[in-house]
Amino acid sequence: MRNLKYAILGLLLEKNMSGYEIKTEFEKSLTEFWYAKHSQIYPELKKLTEEGMTEFITEITGNVLEKKVYSITEKGKEDFMNWIIMDEDISTPKDVFRLRLFFSHNLDLENRLELIENQLKKHEKKLNKLKKEQEKFKNITEKNNIIFADYLILMGAVMREETYCSWLKKCIELYKH
């Protein structure tokens, strides 16, 4: 599948970046649908370079600190463009909370409700955070840039969290009556 590969290539298509900057982008822009630790990113960049998908030059920050600035090659671009139109089957995300809920008849009603209410609190907190972020996207008109994709992703994340919260509230309601 090599999805991490394409996440990295997609980022490098925007601009040249170091491994550290890529790591930062994962935390900022991709966090609602992908993530990777630096311990996965650095070896992947090494592999990508060996495969001829990326190249790098070394830049110096300050006096001695070396930074490897990666760029995507023609070969990398071709590979990325083949991947992005690929038609893949959808897969259901794993969900540890749902796993717990499925087996929650092993708990008494009180503990079962606590389990769900705790989960609800967390998702409500996340939803509020996402809604605050959404305020940045007031006047979006340009549909051809990465900012618009950001906007659609965030909208999807808000909808996803709203639904998760509604579902949990419905579960609580059903157990209470």
Partner DNA sequence: ACCAACATGTAAGAAGTTACATGATTTA
Partner DNA sequence: TAAATCATGTAACTTCTTACATGTTGGT
Q: Which residues bind DNA (CB under 7 A)?
A: 1-4, 18-21, 23-24, 35-40, 42-43, 45-46, 61-68, 94
Least spacing, CB of residue 7 vs DNA, in Å: 9
**Selected binder of a second copy within 27, 59, 78, 95 (CB under 8 A):** 95
Q: Which of residues 32-91 bind a second copy (CB under 8 A)?
A: 32-35, 80-81, 83-85, 87-91
Q: Which helix (H) or strand (E) holds 55?
A: strand 54-61
The pair of three-digit structure tokens given for residue 30, joined into one six-digit string: 């991709």
The pair of three-digit structure tokens given for residue 133, joined into one six-digit string: 């972020």
154 binds a second copy (CB under 8 A): no
Residue 57 binding partner per list a second copy, DNA, none, with a CB distance cut-off of 5 to 8 Å that depends on partner kind:
none
The pair of three-digit structure tokens given for residue 11, joined into one six-digit string: 């980022």
Q: Which is nearer to a second copy, 60 or 85 (CB)?
A: 85
Q: Which is nearer to DNA, 26 or 164 (CB)?
A: 26
Is residue 12 a contact partner of residue 75, using CB atoms and an 8 Å limit? no
Q: What phi and psi values does residue 97 have, to the nearest 5 degrees?
A: -65, -45
**Selected binder of a second copy within 15, 20, 24, 31 (CB under 8 A):** 31
Contacts of residue 172, Cβ cutoff 8 Å, sequence gap at least 6:
113, 116, 117, 120
How does DSSP assign 66-108, residue by residue? EEEEEEE-HHHHHHHHHHHT------PPP-HHHHHHHTGGGS-
Q: Which residues bind a second copy (CB under 8 A)?
A: 1, 3, 6-7, 10, 13, 29-35, 80-81, 83-85, 87-107, 111, 114-115, 118-119, 122-123, 126, 143-146, 148-150, 152-153, 155-157, 159-160, 162-164, 166-167, 170-171, 174-175
